[in-house]
Structures are given as structure tokens and as C-alpha cells.
Amino acid sequence: DMIVRNADLALYAAKDGGRGRHHFYSNDLLSAAEERSKLEEDLRDAVAHGGFELYYQPVVNAQDETIAGFEALLRWNHPQRGWMSPAKFIPIAEDIGLINAIGEWAIRTACDNMARWPENIRCAVNVSPLQFANPQLPAIVTNAIAHARIDPARLELEITESVFLSDDEGTDAMFASLKRVGVRLALDDFGTGYSSLGYLKKAPFDKIKIDQSFVRGATEPGSRNGALITSITSLAKSLGMDTTAEGVETMDELELVHNLGCSHVQGYIYSKPLPGDEVFDQLSNGLQL
């Protein structure tokens, strides 16, 4: 973002021979900084007064197409801008120290919601690397599970590879604590980062989530994605882990990931993320999505 801005400014500077450069530069920075600090203020407000909602996207068993569970996805209805993507506001929440509060709310809300669902239905919650580095996380999870009176094995925490970039001992200890609590652990966005087989060896994951960038284009002739998905699923199977193919949108993609051995499927082909009440209604009516 900054690189694009600076290139734009260089263009301005060239056009007016550099005379107006300082003027443009400071204006541009000011408005970006102002926009950012307004967003920060609004985020603090949302944390204090409850401006978030969880949506739930079904995770479907590839074999029989029954619902195995849901992934909880955070939504923020911004007072002026409307629905804002978590991809935009979560990094800001991480920067200004709000992610632990938001993440705790998400874990509690997902557990309370799950208590209204049939007992065989799981829920996955995304956990930021900063939450994973918080020694309070196992206690937060334990309390949420106790409050909702649910089986801990119904809660799955989704973690990205970036947790391995920091403190080795702290990371190992956190994995061990969470396993003692009894929750399931999923490795999210597999294949997008510094995917290392070492992580799979040392961390007790129950599931690998294959990023949608592998699924997208896998149906194109000559694509290597299919071969990669096959390798990941057979590796996972031999380690006793499930695999979810993420972002499946078309029948061709569904057929492919099914044939390549993914145990679970998630994506618009089945359903977009839905508000909690809608999920509850559908589950209590025994309807398929």
C-alpha cells in the first residue's frame, strides 16, 4: 500500500517539477493516518459496545455430504461503512492490542451457539497467532466450554503456520495445554506460507485445511494443484489427520477434491457463511443446506 502511494507521489512530484511535493505528501499521509485512527477508535467502540457478529459456514463430510460442523467467521457492521471484511479489520485489531478481547468473545459466542446445536455438530474458531502466544488462552477456552457445557472435542481451533515463527518452547507448551483441554486443532491455510513438514510432525493437529488457492485452478488442464492436493491428503491420512478443501465453488471442483481424497469440503458450493439464527433454524428443522 505504501509503495503504491509513494509511486503516486513521485508522479505528482515529476509533474509539477517537485514544487508541490511536500504539500501533496503531507496531505496524503495525514488522510491515511486519520482514516486509520478513526478505524481504530471505531474498533475500540465495537469491542466495548458489542459491534461484532459471528457467521457460520458449513463444513461438509465429503463421503455422505452430511454436515460435520461449521466454521465461525467474524463480521463487523461498521456504523458508516457497513459490513467490513475481517481480512481488513483483524490486522488492525492485532496491531492495537484488541485481538485478544475480540478472539475471546468469538470463542465464547461460538461455544454458546454450539450448545443449541445437535451434539454431533462441531464448530471451528479462528485463532490469531497473538492469541496463541497469550498464556491465558487455555483458561479462556476452558471457561468458554464450561460456560456452554459442551464437549471440548466439539470445539476446533484454527491456527495458521505463522504461530511457528515465534518462540519454540512457548508454542510447544501451548499445543500441549490445548490438547489437555481436549479441543481439536486445525492447521489453517495450509500451503500458503512456509509450509514445512516439520510442523506436521511436531504439532498435534487433527485437521489440515487446504487453502482455496489450491482448489482454484485445480480443474484446469495441466494444473499441478491436483497432484499437490493428493499428496497433502495422503500425508494427512497417514498421520491420522482430516483434510478440509476450502473455497470449493463449482461442481467440477467438488468432484475433484472428493476424488483426490479430501475428507471434508467447505465453500460456496454448499453455502456461504450464515447468521447464527439461520443455522439454528435449519438445524432444528433438520433441513439440508
Alpha carbon 51 to its chain centroid, in Å, reads 19
Residue 267's binding partner, choosing from Ca ion, ligand C2E, none, with beta-carbon cut-off 5 to 8 A by kind?
A: ligand C2E
Nearer to Ca ion, 161 or 189 (CB): 189
Confirm if 237 and 217 have CB atoms less than 8 A apart: no
| Residue span 41-80 as binding mask against ligand C2E, x where in contact by CB under 6 A, dash where not | ----------------x---------------xx------
Residues 6+ apart with CB under 8 A from 274: 55, 56, 57, 282
Any contact of residue 274 with ligand C2E (CB under 6 A)?
A: no
Residue 86's binding partner, choosing from Ca ion, ligand C2E, none, with beta-carbon cut-off 5 to 8 A by kind?
A: ligand C2E
| Residue span 159-178 as binding mask against ligand C2E, x where in contact by CB under 6 A, dash where not | --------------------
| Residue whose CB is nearest to ligand C2E in the complex, by number | 267
What gap in Å lies between CA 101 and CA 162, rounded to an integer?
20
Any contact of residue 249 with ligand C2E (CB under 6 A)?
A: yes
Nearer to ligand C2E, 150 or 257 (CB): 257
Q: Give the interface with Ca ion as residue ranges (CB under 5 A).
A: 126, 158, 188-189
Confirm if 262 and 233 have CB atoms less than 8 A apart: yes
The C-alpha cell at 170 is: 512457548
Nearer to ligand C2E, 121 or 248 (CB): 248
- Among candidate residues 285, 288, 218, 276, the one with its CA nearest the CA of residue 249: 218
Report the nearest approach of ligand C2E to the CB of residue 26 (Å).
33
Any contact of residue 276 with ligand C2E (CB under 6 A)?
A: no
Q: What is the dihedral of CA 258, 260, 265, 268, to 10 degrees?
A: -80
> 3-state DSSP call for residue 157?
strand
